[in-house]
Amino acid sequence: MALFASTLNTPTFGAGMPAAPHARIDDGALDVIVAGSFSRLGALAMLPRLLTGQHITHPKVTMHAVAGLRLTSKRPIPIAVDGEF
């Protein structure tokens, strides 16, 4: 289970949150970020790191550059696209 997963083609989302600081809009890749399983306290502690782009150095956070992405799930899960569910 993951705390969150996100796919971006720009370094930031929302009001400038640097979720994928190394992402480039012109490189032809999607940057996938997956934050692993965290306790509630661990998730709370990740927020300042996410807001400053320092989350990418955490051992439970992985990043991958991919040319495409296909998601499947055995059960329904909430998905937001461009801020809309």
Sequence-ordered list of residues with C-beta below 8 angstroms from that of 68, at least 6 positions apart, any chain = 30
Cα angle vertex 20, ends 1, 15, to 5°? 100
Residue 83 has pLDDT above 90, yes or no: no
Q: Model pTM?
A: 0.77
pLDDT at 66: 95
Average pLDDT over residues 22-28: 92
Residue whose structure tokens are 């569910």? 85
pLDDT at 80: 80
Average pLDDT over residues 20-44: 92
pLDDT at 33: 93
CATH class of the domain comprising 4-66:
mainly beta
SS3 46: helix
Cβ-contact 60, 35 below 8 angstroms: yes
Average pLDDT over residues 53-57: 90
